[in-house]
Chain A
Amino acid sequence: MAGEISFFLARRIPWAILTIFLASLLAFSIIFFAPGNPAEVILTQIYGNEPERDAVILFIEQNALDVPFIKQYTTWTTGLFYGSLGTSLRTGDPVLEEFIVRFPATVILALSAITFALVIGLSIGVLSAVRPHSPIDAFGNLIASLGSSIPSFWLGLLLILVFSIHLNLLPSFGYGGIEHLILPTIALGFLNVSKILRITRESMIDALSEDYVFEAYAKGLREKAVVIRHAFRNASVPIVTQTGLELGALLGGTVIIEQIFGWPGIGSFLLSSVMSRDYPVIAGFVLLIALIYVIVNILVDIIYIYIDPRIQPGGKTHA
């Protein structure tokens, strides 16, 4: 097992590094090709009014903004190795620091949403597969089609309208205790409930039609044991893959929900940086999110090897 994993990593990590390298090129292009003169943008941010022409020229020379793309890119990437991603034009704080301060909030929200999705999606999915065309299957179907068609921002607002404004049960805004987490979790996780439910139902139906399930029944095992120990174990591989992909996407995709619920994560900060054209933050955050995404995907593939020993790790270069 350990050998398989190092073999797998040896194949995957070069690709991951190449991807990150290309991502960094893309991220830096955002700074470099951004419309407007960056020196003017920065000086306007610092002094609050239109800068003098001499000040702009001086700033360009001091910060070496007139050198070619390759040189600037090299300087920026060298900075990465020292843990520097530049400073925010808006707050004046290092980009990396801004990211680290806000990342835990996003992780909490993403993990909470994926847990919610797993609990609901797995249980309804398994029950639907065990009793196809039953009322619970019909209910699961309804949840699945609603989940993939309700816009998360609309669901979020609806939840606020019902539970915060009318029933006054839960807070609609802010960050803190468990009660702040409930509404954003439901709004964010509903789409994932639908995805996990679908894939669970599909792979459970496949697994339940296999010969070993009939055999297990023939041995006299009770239904619960057959479903959980035999069918579910074999059906879990696609579910884990799906969950991993969802988690990766959630870590970068909580922007809308963070915005609605005033959740202080990386998404809402990225959005306000886009609005005020804070290019170093946009570039740095894009790069860091790509990095996290790549790492999560590699971890998912490693878990994949553990739960399904039939998979040849060398056979797949990328997921």
Chain B
Amino acid sequence: MHKHAFSRFEQFFPYDIKSLGLSTGVVASCIILILLLCMSVFPGVFATHDPNTVDLDNRLVQPGVEHYFGTDHHGRDIYSRVVYGARTSMATALSVVAIGVIVGTLLGLIAGYYGGIIDQVIMRIVDLFLAFPATILAIALVGLFGPSLFNIVLALSIMWWVSYARIIRGVVLQVKEKDFIKGAYLMGGKNRYIIRKHIIPHVLSPIFALATLDVGSAILHITGLSFLGLGAQPPTAEWGSMIQGSIAFMETAPQTMIFPGLCIIITVISFNYLGDWIKERSDPVRMEKITV
């Protein structure tokens, strides 16, 4: 068979569209996520008001035609703040997961492929990180660096790579024993060549599924820490800090709290649905084993 019998696209996407098992939930999630992505890139197109303009004459207005989701205690338009908050949440959550994936995959590949002392050292560091509850470590690091959104991303990234490193190492250990790797080695393939050509294509689909599932959890962590006042500082529009600001007015103006919360839930559910679907599609048997 010719070396390029499969196109690049088919290599990574070897499915027939009909066999994809797209449920309504998955399609809806995709649409919501695309919409959120557009919102975070072009918030100005979606927002009806400036997110930070204070209007003391229109404080705590109920949802209506002028203000879709009402206004908060400074008279700021909640809908517009939610739109700008999408940018904050998407940007921070995707950064945390991206950093985690890059660092974790690199260390997992090295640990699994080379084994020996390097493997031992990397895995002991992984154990150390697993010995801390994630929230506590993040809070401690924010305590050290001071509260800000950037420090939250930093603190979460520092511990986010751990689970990837562990899982990728496991996949590499499985793949390493396969005959085609031994063949490539006997052919005189250099380590870097084998990793690039034979190992990385195998770890791509589990990484992609896990990363998608993790974005939701990253959003929950970031909004939670911002809610505690450790992340986004006012007046930045951020879903977690919007909810925190709403506590005092919850009784008379529940819209200040309800809408940002619903946005978090919808976003996280969409990422989870998509992640579950990718997980199922990409080698069900192996994914089952490595993600439990």
Contacts and interface: CB of A to CB of B under 8 A. Distances in A.
Interface of A: 15, 18-20, 22-23, 27, 30, 33-35, 145-146, 148-154, 157-158, 160-161, 165, 199, 238, 248-249, 251-253, 255-256, 259, 270-271, 273-275, 277, 279, 282, 285-286, 289-290, 293-294, 297, 318
A274 B143 contact: yes
B265 interface: yes
Q: Looking at B143, B144, B251, which has the most chain A CB atoms within 10 Å of its CB?
A: B143
Contact of A165 (B132, B217, B250, B292): B250
Given A35-B146, A145-B272, A293-B132, A15 B127 contact: yes
B228 A318 contact: no
Contact of B133 (A252, A273, A279, A282): A252
B170 interface: no
B62 to A, nearest CB: 16
Q: Looking at B140, B142, B217, B273, which has the most chain A CB atoms within 10 Å of its CB?
A: B140
A122 to B, nearest CB: 18
Contacts of B264: 149, 151, 154
B139 interface: yes
B231 interface: no
A158 B254 CA distance: 9
Given A161-B250, A289-B136, A153 B143 contact: no
Given A149-B216, A252-B136, A157 B250 contact: yes
Closest 10 CB pairs of A and B: A252-B133, A274-B143, A149-B268, A154-B261, A149-B269, A19-B131, A252-B136, A253-B135, A282-B143, A153-B227
Contacts of A22: 128
B261 A274 contact: no
A317 B265 CA distance: 38
B243 interface: yes
Nearest to B268: A149
A17 to B, nearest CB: 11
B92 interface: no
B257 interface: yes
